Amino acid sequence: MIHSLFIINPSGDVFMEKHWKSVISRSVCDYFFDHQRKASSPEDIPPVIATPHHYLISVYRSSMFFVAVCTTEVAPLFVVEFLHRVVDTFEDYFSECTESIIKEHYVVVYELLDEMLDNGFPLATESNILKELIKPPNILRTIANTVTGKSNVSSTLPSGQLSNIPWRRTGVKYTNNEAYFDMIEEVDAIIDKSGSTVCAEIQGYIDCCIKLSGMPDLSLSFVNPRLFDDVSFHPCVRFKRWESERVLSFIPPDGNFRLMSYHIGSQSIVAIPVYVRHSLCLRESGSGGRLDITLGPKQTLGRTIENVVLEIPMPKSVLNCGLVTNQGKYTFDPVSKLLVWEVGRIDVTKLPNIRGTISLQSGSPPVEANPSINVS
Amino acid sequence: MLDSNKDNLKLEAMKRIIGMVAKGREASDLFPAVVKNVVSKNIEVKKLVYVYLVRYAEEQQDLALLSISTFQRALKDPNQLIRASALRVLSSIRVTMIVPIVMLAIKDAAADMSPYVRKTAAHAIPKLYSLDQDQKEELIQVLEKLLYDKTTLVVGSAVMAFEEVCPERIDLIHKNFRKLCSLLVDVDEWGQVVIINMLTRYARSQFTDPNLQDVDEDEESKRPFYEDENEVDEEQQEKRAPTLDPDHRLLLRSAKPLLQSRNAAVVLSVAQLYHHTAPRSEVHQVAKAMIRLLRSHREVQDIVLTSIAATATRRKVMFEPFLKSFFVRSSDATHIKLLKLEILTSLATESSVGIILRELQTYVAAHDPPFVAAAIQAIGRCASNIKEVTDTCLNGLVSLLSNKDQAVVAESVVVIKKLLQTQPSAHREIIIQMAKLVDSVTVPQARASILWLLGEYSERVPKIAPDVLRKMAKTFTSEEDIVKLQVMTLAVKLCLTNPKQTKLLCQYVLQLAKYDQNYDLRDRARFLRHIIFPADAESGGPTRLSKQAKKIFLAPKPAPVPESHFKDREQFQLGSLSHYINTKANGYQELPPFPLEAPDPKARDVETEPQVMEQAPLFTAKKVSSKKDSKFYSDTESPEDESEEDENSSDEDDDDDEEEEDSSSDKDEEEDDNEDEESSGLEEKLPKKVVKSNAKPKSDEEEEEDESDEDDSSSESVSDSDSEDESSEPSSVPKKQTRNAKPAKESTPVVKPKSNLDLLLDLDDVSPAFTPIMTPSLGGFLTPMSTPSSQVKTQLFPDIQV
Nearest to B415, CA basis, from B439, B435, B390: B390
User: How crowded is the C-beta side of B328, counted as CA atoms within 13 Å?
Assistant: 32
CB contact under 8 A, B784 and A80: no
Nearest to B24, CA basis, from A144, A226, A19: A19
- Judge whether A70 and A57 are in contact, CB under 8 Å: yes
CB contact under 8 A, A220 and B758: no
User: What's the confidence (pLDDT) of residue B648?
Assistant: 41
Which segment of A4-8, A315-319, B756-760 scores lowest on mean pLDDT? B756-760
Strand partners of residue A250: A218, A237
Nearest to B744, CA basis, from A210, A343, A368, A150: A210
Look at residue A285 and tell me whether its pLDDT is greater than 80: no
- Judge whether A67 and A58 are in contact, CB under 8 Å: yes
Q: At what angle do helices A76-94 and B189-206 cross, to 10 degrees?
A: 170
CB contact under 8 A, A76 and B288: no
Strand partners of residue A353: A294
CB contact under 8 A, A162 and B188: no
User: What's the confidence (pLDDT) of residue B426?
Assistant: 58
Taking the alpha carbons of B269, B272, B273, B278 in that order, is the dihedral positive or negative? positive
Chain mean pLDDT for chain A: 75
Cα dihedral value B739, B745, B747, B752, nearest 10: -80
CB contact under 8 A, A118 and B123: yes
Which segment of A196-200, B135-139, B746-750 scores lowest on mean pLDDT? B746-750
Over residues B516-524, the mean pLDDT reads: 83
* Closest CA–CA distance from residue B692 to any residue of chain A (Å): 6
Over residues B567-590, the mean pLDDT reads: 70
A67: chain B residues, CB-CB within 8 Å? none
Whole-Å CA distances, B436 to A270, B72, B439, B451, B464? 49, 85, 6, 11, 9
A178: chain B residues, CB-CB within 8 Å? 700, 741, 743
Whole-Å CA distances, A29 to A8, B48, B171? 9, 26, 40
Q: What is the distance, to the nearest Å, from the Cα of residue B365 to the centroid of all Cα atoms in its chain?
A: 34
Chain mean pLDDT for chain B: 67
Residue of B nearest to A118 (CA): B123
Q: Where are the beta strands (DSSP E) in A225-349?
A: 230-233, 247-250, 255-264, 274-281, 289-297, 308-313, 318-325, 329-333, 338-344
B-facing residues of A in 43-102 (CB < 8 A) are 43-44, 46-48, 50, 55, 58-61, 70-78, 80-82, 84
B51: chain A residues, CB-CB within 8 Å? 110-111, 114
pLDDT band at A362 (very low <50, low <70, confident <90, very high): very low
The tens digit of pLDDT for each residue in B160-170 reads: 888 888 877 77
More confident residue, A180 or B10: A180
Residue of A nearest to B80 (CA): A157
pLDDT band at B559 (very low <50, low <70, confident <90, very high): low
* CB-CB neighbours of B242 under 10 Å: 7
pLDDT band at B624 (very low <50, low <70, confident <90, very high): very low
Which segment of A66-70, A356-360, B325-329 scores lowest on mean pLDDT? A356-360
| Phi, psi for A332 (deg, rounded to 5) | -130, 125
The tens digit of pLDDT for each residue in A80-119 reads: 888 998 888 888 888 888 888 888 888 888 888 888 888 7
Over residues B502-528, the mean pLDDT reads: 81
CB contact under 8 A, B268 and A77: yes
- Judge whether A17 and B24 are in contact, CB under 8 Å: yes
CB contact under 8 A, B782 and A251: yes
* Closest CA–CA distance from residue A372 to any residue of chain B (Å): 7
Please tell me the total number of residues recorded for chain A in this structure: 376
Nearest to B400, CA basis, from B372, B442, B370: B372
User: What's the confidence (pLDDT) of residue A161?
Assistant: 46
Nearest to A45, CA basis, from A33, A53, A55: A33
Tell me how far apart the alpha carbons of residues B396 and A51 are, in angstroms, rounded to a whole number: 41
* CB-CB neighbours of B3 under 10 Å: 10
Q: pLDDT exceeding 70 applies to what percent of chain B?
A: 62
User: What's the confidence (pLDDT) of residue B635?
Assistant: 38
Q: pLDDT exceeding 70 applies to what percent of chain A?
A: 74
Strand partners of residue A293: A278, A354
A360 three-state secondary structure: strand
CB contact under 8 A, A107 and B262: no
| Phi, psi for B702 (deg, rounded to 5) | -105, 25
CB contact under 8 A, B262 and A203: no
Over residues B123-151, the mean pLDDT reads: 84
pLDDT band at B421 (very low <50, low <70, confident <90, very high): confident
* CB-CB neighbours of B152 under 10 Å: 24
From the number of C-beta atoms within 10 Å of its C-beta (0-12, 13-18, 19+), residue A249 rates as: buried
Inter-chain Cβ pairs, chain A and chain B, closer than 8 A: 413
* Closest CA–CA distance from residue B196 to any residue of chain A (Å): 11
CB contact under 8 A, A273 and B693: yes
* Closest CA–CA distance from residue B147 to any residue of chain A (Å): 17
B641 three-state secondary structure: coil
Over residues B312-340, the mean pLDDT reads: 78
* Closest CA–CA distance from residue B99 to any residue of chain A (Å): 16
* pTM across the whole model: 0.72
- Judge whether B20 and B27 are in contact, CB under 8 Å: yes
| Phi, psi for A16 (deg, rounded to 5) | -150, 140
Taking the alpha carbons of B622, B627, B628, B632 in that order, is the dihedral positive or negative? positive
Touching check for A244 and chain B: CB below 8 Å?
A: yes
Tell me how far apart the alpha carbons of residues A350 and A344 are, in angstroms, rounded to a whole number: 13
A264: chain B residues, CB-CB within 8 Å? 690
Which segment of A174-188, B41-55, B769-783 scores lowest on mean pLDDT? B769-783
CB contact under 8 A, A240 and B645: yes
User: What's the confidence (pLDDT) of residue A190?
Assistant: 72
Nearest to B642, CA basis, from B675, B618, B665: B618
Look at residue A242 and tell me whether its pLDDT is greater than 60: yes
Tell me the Ramachandran region of residue A329: left when phi exceeds 0, alpha when psi lies from -120 to 50, beta otherwise: beta
DSSP codes joined into one string, A202-261 = EEEEEEEEEE-SS---EEEEES-GGG-SEEEE-TTB-HHHHHHH-EEEE-PPSEEEEEEE
Residue of A nearest to B590 (CA): A73
Q: At what angle do helices B99-110 and B61-74 cross, to 10 degrees?
A: 20
DSSP conformation class of B583: S
Of B130, B738, B742, the CB nearest to A175: B738
CB contact under 8 A, B754 and A106: no
Look at residue B143 and tell me whether its pLDDT is greater than 50: yes
Chosen from A150, A152, A162, A372 to mutate, greatest number of chain B CBs within 10 A: A162
Q: Which residues contact B308 (CB under 8 A, 6 or more apart)?
A: B290, B319, B343
B296 three-state secondary structure: coil
End-to-end CA distance of chain B: 51
* Closest CA–CA distance from residue B586 to any residue of chain A (Å): 5
Tell me how far apart the alpha carbons of residues B389 and A37 are, in angstroms, rounded to a whole number: 40
pLDDT band at A290 (very low <50, low <70, confident <90, very high): confident
Please tell me the total number of residues recorded for chain B in this structure: 802
Over residues A317-327, the mean pLDDT reads: 75
The vertex-A19 CA angle with A13 and A25, nearest 5°, equals: 55
Residue of B nearest to A108 (CA): B15
Whole-Å CA distances, A148 to A142, B7, B28, B333? 10, 11, 31, 51
pLDDT band at B469 (very low <50, low <70, confident <90, very high): confident
**Strand (E) or helix (H) holding B198:** helix B189-206
pLDDT band at B641 (very low <50, low <70, confident <90, very high): very low
Of B260, B265, B329, the CB nearest to A190: B329
Whole-Å CA distances, B636 to B375, B759, B777? 67, 10, 11
CB contact under 8 A, B58 and A240: no
User: What's the confidence (pLDDT) of residue A165?
Assistant: 66
Of B268, B749, B778, the CB nearest to A164: B778
User: What's the confidence (pLDDT) of residue B569?
Assistant: 65
CB contact under 8 A, B262 and A305: no
Residue of A nearest to B272 (CA): A75
DSSP conformation class of B557: P
More confident residue, B717 or A207: A207
Which segment of A125-129, B304-308, B675-679 scores lowest on mean pLDDT? B675-679
CB contact under 8 A, A164 and B755: yes
Tell me how far apart the alpha carbons of residues B543 and A111 are, in angstroms, rounded to a whole number: 82
B-facing residues of A in 271-330 (CB < 8 A) are 271-274, 299-301, 303, 305-308, 313, 315-316
Tell me how far apart the alpha carbons of residues A287 and B548 are, in angstroms, rounded to a whole number: 64
* CB-CB neighbours of B582 under 10 Å: 15
B734: chain A residues, CB-CB within 8 Å? none
pLDDT band at B2 (very low <50, low <70, confident <90, very high): low
B-facing residues of A in 211-230 (CB < 8 A) are 212-224, 227, 229-230
Of B80, B189, B190, the CB nearest to A157: B80
Nearest to B185, CA basis, from A219, A163, A166, A210: A166
Of A173, A223, A258, the CB nearest to B685: A223
A338: chain B residues, CB-CB within 8 Å? none
Whole-Å CA distances, B639 to B149, B626, B771, B779? 18, 8, 20, 12
Tell me how far apart the alpha carbons of residues B21 and B52 are, in angstroms, rounded to a whole number: 8
Over residues B206-211, the mean pLDDT reads: 75
Residue of A nearest to B776 (CA): A164
| Phi, psi for A117 (deg, rounded to 5) | -135, 130
Q: What is the distance, to the nearest Å, from the Cα of residue A290 to the centroid of all Cα atoms in its chain?
A: 34
